[in-house]
Amino acid sequence: MKRTLLVIAALALSPSLFAQSPLTETIEVRVTNVDVVVVDRAGNPVPGLTREDFEVTEGGKPQPITNFYEINESTAPAAGAAPVTPAAADAVPEEVGRRRLVVFVDNYSINPLSRNQAFVALENSLGTLMRPGDEAMIVFWDRNQEVIAPFTSDRAELIRKFKEAAGHTGGGMTANSARSRVIEHASQMLADAKAPSTRKISFQQAYDESAGGARAYAEELYASETRLLGGVKRMLTSLAGVEGKKVFIFLGAELAENPGLDLIQQVDAMFQEYIRGMRPAVLREQNRSLTAELQALARHANATGVTMYLVDTADRSRGADPTARLVDNESEVTAQMNTSMAMGTIASMTGGLAVPGGKSFEKALDAVARDLSSYYSLGYRSPGDAEGDRRIVVKVKRPGLHVRSRTTYVARKGDDELKDRVIANVFHSGVKSDFPVSLVASAPEKLENGQYKVKLKVTLPSTMTFIPQDDSLVGEFAVFFATGKEDGALSEVSKAVQPMKFPGNARDAIAAQKSFTYDAALVVRPGEQIVSVAVTDTLAGTSGFARTKINAQ
């Protein structure tokens, strides 16, 4: 949920400051990191490779590998421990080997029994999925987003949250019931059309009404899944700017590339033999596709460096689930392929895995743990002219080996990247700063409209970049603000740009001042929430982050 954030700001730097036009940003040279899983023909991880074994191309052009890490159980250090240096790889920094996991549960589609079985499997797997210093978050989606457990490294707390979440009602039964009602209504319409003594409706009329019900359900499902993808995207953004191995585990019973197509297909099959020359409705519904949205989501995951693992929790064996909808074989194959293609698209683009339907949650989590136990992190300097979506290809020169890695790199520049990182700073205190920033909030003041005003003081170092211009020293910084609650509610990101101009001989005086303060006031809604701030030095292309908790009441 997005909320408007009103920012009122002022600057306290020096009496000699006066305004100027905004400066042009400098071109930033950035390193793109790609996590790579290498397996043999049997699917077993392959350790011991060197950077000479890999080839990386971006946009079809070979890229020299600038940094190379092999991460496995022996090289990834625990928090605070000294890294081990394999002979063929660089020393693994603590932040590179640290894991951040998001467990995202589509509680609207998943059956409660399957969900709780998945929770038990997750509880049993935490010991292999998380090491000391790693963090995980649990998010529920039930047509609205709810953060069940914010990022924590406390496994006992996560297990407690799993047990609490097991008491939530599930939307999967409701979703299946809605589908079943469409089929039951179509069956009744067909029966009415077939009854010779009481026939009041033709087969065509019965079919048109039944197909209309299936189409209405498909449209509702399309809208629901579009909102779901938006919720997933927001949680992916919560990992922007955080270093380490970032993993997103999606649990859900349906993520269809063409929502509702199987249901429309089933209604068609029911009436096909009774209407000569019938044009199946399924042929007219092929344009309701989420392919572009799924690919855009995968590209966003790649832009934030997140590998996605998607687990189809539906048990599609007929009769195995007492809440399963009425289906025929052909439409069930369509349903399975629909979800399989959608999950497979995201997984293949992000270097993860899509696990097929059923209740083998231990198998799915074992696959995630196996990837985390052995992989390579490659880095290269992206071309300075890189813009938009760039294709990445990673190959291994040794025969018989298979590589999985993200397939795209999105050159997010300027505001887009900073907005992602200031949002991530709402959820996570581990966003990396290039320079120190502090944030102090006053006690909230209630306004007449029921909202609250909070005064903020942002402190940043006086070592910001200044360049000579005419007889002056000029610089510029931008401040980004966002607020959010632990349940996932977020404000829009607000931005203020502050040009700076000093006399040309003031460099020593600026250094002596040591810090600048930037005063702002936010108007926020009631409740406990996190205020996140990012300050970026426009000329240097560097940024600092700070956050604080307020309780507007």
Tokens of 2: 């997005």
In this structure, the number of other CB atoms found within 10 A of the CB of residue 527 comes to: 14
Q: Is the pLDDT of residue 18 over 80?
A: no
Distance of CA 445 to the CA centre of its chain: 34
| Rounded Cα distance, 235 and 258, in Å | 23
Q: What is the pLDDT of residue 328?
A: 55
Q: Do domains 2-27+413-552 and 99-373 have the same CATH topology?
A: no
Q: What is the pLDDT of residue 316?
A: 57
Q: When comparing pLDDT for 184 and 338, which is higher? A: 184
Which of 437, 496, 443 has its CA nearest to residue 461? 437
Does the structural domain 2-27+413-552 have CATH classification 2.60.40.3880? yes
CATH superfamily, with its number, for domain 99-373: von Willebrand factor, type A domain (3.40.50.410)
Rounded mean pLDDT of 132-156? 89
Q: What is the pLDDT of residue 404?
A: 95
Do 257 and 342 contact (CB within 8 A), yes or no?
A: yes
Listed by start position, the domains of the chain span 2-27+413-552, 31-93+374-411, 99-373
- Name the one residue in this structure whose structure tokens are 């467990």: 103
Tokens of 439: 């944030």
Rounded mean pLDDT of 19-44? 70
Do 259 and 288 contact (CB within 8 A), yes or no?
A: yes
- Name the one residue in this structure whose structure tokens are 């194959």: 333
Which residues in 11-49 are b (16+ Cβ under 10 Å) and which e? bebeeebeeeeebebeeeeeebbbbbbbbeeeeeebbeb
Using a cut of 0.75, tell me whether the model's pTM lies above it. yes
537 forms beta bridges with 477, 542
Q: When comparing pLDDT for 387 and 364, which is higher? A: 364
Amino acid identity at 259: P
Which SS3 state, helix, strand or coil, does residue 459 take? strand
Q: What is the pLDDT of residue 359?
A: 61
Q: Is the pLDDT of residue 87 over 60?
A: no
Percent of the chain scored above 90 by pLDDT? 44
479 forms beta bridges with 496, 535
- Model pLDDT for residues 382-429, shown as the tens digit of each residue: 766 656 678 999 999 999 999 999 999 877 666 888 888 898 898 887
pLDDT band at residue 110 using 50, 70 and 90 as cut-offs: confident
